[in-house]
Amino acid sequence: MIEGVLFFDEASILVDGFEAWGAVLGGSVRRSREALNVQVRRLKRAVKARVLWRWAPLVPEDDFTACCRQAINELKLRGSGRIIGDYLEFGVSRGTSLACMHHALAAEQLGDVRLIGFDSFEGLPPEAAEEGGSMWEPGAYGSALGTTRTYLKRKGVDLRRVNLVKGWFKDTLTAQTRRALKLEQASLIMVDCDIYSASRDALFFCEPLIGDVAVIFFDDWGWRSDIGEIGQKEAFDEFLAAFPELSATPLPAYLPQARVFLVTRGGAKHGEKRVTSAMATPG
């Protein structure tokens, strides 16, 4: 992925240089400059297309889409009133998981659900230097907002239903954002921001938006505590401890290191395995 970004930057420099060169040459000859500009635009498009498709997906697309459909069906089974609220995603990067959820919702005849993605669009935050250990570093997974939009469009995502919020979570995950986006209910929540602090910020932001039931996906559950550091498990643990009226029941996940929970307000129903904060923590 990072290779792809570097390649794109180098190509952009090349194209910019080409453009500048074209501008000098064609300064007095308008028509040839226009022709050159057309060539430059074509070259840029070709470079962009190549870069977009060199991007290695960060979630397994088929398995994650199937998992999204399963989650949607759990919500349909248990829902009352407005069944499916918004999909909120924390950690969009290029947009693979968001595109998967978009297609899963469409396949379940829920094409009107909003998809709202939060990301710096500059990669992991400075805190990753402390929290990421040897696995993650600041700037990793960076994808510019425009590039992500282009990728989503090419994946067949209806961008009118997508709202991408750019910025560090400490600045964007606020009550004001909830009001500005008219967020009332989040039913599907993807926490794919890797590190503990970002995951914690995401969960606490979502709490007032969780109604009777929601599904929360964690993409990076299995990494940090395996090596004695804190990560998504601990963030979820703190979240459940802070809001004892919420309980979580595990659902099948799409990867060994991922976890998916059905979160209910007011306790698990009879026969379900309720996850308390103590159970969420073990390695």
Ligand X SMILES: C[S@@+](CC[C@H](N)C(=O)[O-])C[C@H]1O[C@@H](n2cnc3c(N)ncnc32)[C@H](O)[C@@H]1O
Please identify which residue in the block is written with the tokens 């999204």: 68
Work out how close the CB of 84 gets to ligand X at its nearest, in angstroms, rounded to a whole number: 20
Work out how close the CB of 217 gets to ligand X at its nearest, in angstroms, rounded to a whole number: 10
Work out how close the CB of 274 gets to ligand X at its nearest, in angstroms, rounded to a whole number: 28
Tokens of 266: 């007011």
Please identify which residue in the block is written with the tokens 């904060």: 277
Work out how close the CB of 58 gets to ligand X at its nearest, in angstroms, rounded to a whole number: 4
By C-beta, is 93 or 277 nearer to ligand X?
Answer: 93
Work out how close the CB of 144 gets to ligand X at its nearest, in angstroms, rounded to a whole number: 11
d(C-alpha 236, C-alpha 129), whole Å: 21
C-alpha distances out from residue 52 to 55, 87, 147, 164, Å: 6, 24, 8, 18
By C-beta, is 120 or 277 nearer to ligand X?
Answer: 120
By C-beta, is 118 or 261 nearer to ligand X?
Answer: 118
Work out how close the CB of 101 gets to ligand X at its nearest, in angstroms, rounded to a whole number: 10
By C-beta, is 124 or 206 nearer to ligand X?
Answer: 124
By C-beta, is 86 or 194 nearer to ligand X?
Answer: 194
d(C-alpha 185, C-alpha 209), whole Å: 5
Residue 109: which residues within 8 A CB-CB, separation 6 or more? none
Residue nearest ligand X by beta-carbon distance: 91
Contact 69, 107 (CB under 8 A): yes
Work out how close the CB of 34 gets to ligand X at its nearest, in angstroms, rounded to a whole number: 38
d(C-alpha 135, C-alpha 44), whole Å: 33
By C-beta, is 36 or 101 nearer to ligand X?
Answer: 101
HSE-CB at 167 with a 13 A cutoff on CA atoms is: 10
Task: List contacts with ligand X (CB under 6 A).
Answer: 58-59, 91-94, 96-97, 119-120, 123-125, 141, 168-169, 192-194, 198
By C-beta, is 123 or 222 nearer to ligand X?
Answer: 123
